Structure 1
Amino acid sequence: MSVQATRLLVLGALRLRQPTHGYDIQRELTSWNADQWANIARPSVYNQLRTLSREGHIAVAAVQQDERRPSKTLYSITPSGEAEFTRLLREIVSNERPQPLDILPALCFLPMLTKTEITVALEKRLSIIDGFLESFDSHMNSWFHADARANYIREIFLLTREAFVGERTWAREFLERIQADEYQLAQ
């Protein structure tokens, strides 16, 4: 996943648990399996915390010291961190150039968006995916020839196509669930 996705996940986990320290953020993300699907490792969490702190998006709330253990820095999100979180969430949901599964980090925080925001973003995403699939199907044969040396590379394109087909099915069904008010969303 992208740095943007890691940033969103770290800010979002902090936002949910604040004040908290890096270990608890990392543990929270691991409980969501984000270490697997977002490829977030412990060093990524701490790197993001340093960057977000340096940028003023999070602040040190306290430093806890147990005489037998190293000190723990507790962080809280700042108003600029709230704005950054919201910006990242909306940006990932309404990505102009979606890739399969790049919406996963945003799904963790969907209740923070309105029904209208999610609906518009999903409809736009479906339109982009439909356009990609139409273009793909009409151009695939011209991209690869039977005698091409690296013809096996087309398998990457075929896998991507199938991932988008699956995501299109999910997005249509998810949109129906959103329209049926199956989730509590922001107002």
Structure 2
Amino acid sequence: MSTTRLLLLGVVRIFQPAYGYQLRRELLTWNVQDWANINPGSIYTGLRTLAKHGYLVELEEGAGRKPGRTSYKLTTDGETEYFSLLRKALWSVDGFRPDQMQVALSFLWSLRRDEVLAALESRIVQLEQLAKAAPFAERQILEDPGTPDHVLEMLRISSARDAGELEWTRSFHTRVASGEYSFAGEPPQWQPQPGTSTHWGTIPDPPD
């Protein structure tokens, strides 16, 4: 749920105020149905749920509650929740939830470069620790007569994912440290194509 919440809060933050159908259309261009385990039909429900909990404010036009006629903005609590979830996804390694880092990558530009570098360094340490512990976890499985043999492969595939992420994180850290990409408080390196939303040309500063 936290991954979905971060994704919805983040996309509202980019385009606010934005209509539900606009947000749904944008998220579908990100292929969230494939990597974030989000049913496109549940996006409207998720937006209304966030509004119910005080993270979004609904700005309705006309009579009724048609999802496409309702626009959304983050509340103060929504802004706080957004950064809290983003930092949790960035600073925490969970090999069984790769979607968390996928979502964090979608919104890293809303953090400052020094924090992103520090978080990546923390992730490298966490992943190195997991690699160091893996042989002992394997030994425990092999020595436990009550654990089926195939469980060992479940551990190994998880370790392989962690090893791949470790290699990528080291490389990504090098790119960020060398000045690639743009982050909060910096001029944007990427510009949207003519005719697309001008919101993509602005990187808002995070709150102090």
Q: Is the contact between residue 64 and residue 71 of structure 1 (CA under 8 Å) also seen in structure 2?
A: no
Q: 2:37 aligns with which of 29, 34, 39?
A: 39
Q: Is the contact between residue 114 and residue 186 of structure 1 (CA under 8 Å) also seen in structure 2?
A: yes
The CA distance in 1 between the partners of 2:147 and 2:31, in whole Å, is: 39
Distance 1:57 1:146, change over 3 A: closer
| % identical equivalent positions | 31
Cα deviation 1:91-140 (Å, max 9, x = unaligned): 11112x52252311110001111111111111111111111111112331
- TM-score normalised by length of structure 1: 0.87
Paired residue type of 1:98? D
The CA distance in 2 between the partners of 1:49 and 1:37, in whole Å, is: 19
Paired residue type of 1:48? G
Aligned length: 182
Q: Is the contact between residue 44 and residue 67 of structure 2 (CA under 8 Å) also seen in structure 1?
A: no
Distance 1:104 1:64, change over 3 A: farther
Question: SS at 1:88's partner residue?
Answer: helix
Cα deviation 1:80-101 (Å, max 9, x = unaligned): 2111111111111112x52252
- TM-score normalised by length of structure 2: 0.79
Question: SS at 2:72's partner residue?
Answer: strand
Q: Is the contact between residue 98 and residue 125 of structure 1 (CA under 8 Å) also seen in structure 2?
A: no
The CA distance in 2 between the partners of 1:70 and 1:48, in whole Å, is: 11
Taking only aligned residues, the RMSD between alpha carbons, in angstroms, comes to 2.3
Q: How does 1:95-110 map to 2 (within 5 A)?
A: 95=92, 97-99=93-95, 101=98, 102-110=100-108
Unaligned stretches of 5+ in structure 1? none
Q: 1:80 aligns with which of 74, 77, 80?
A: 77
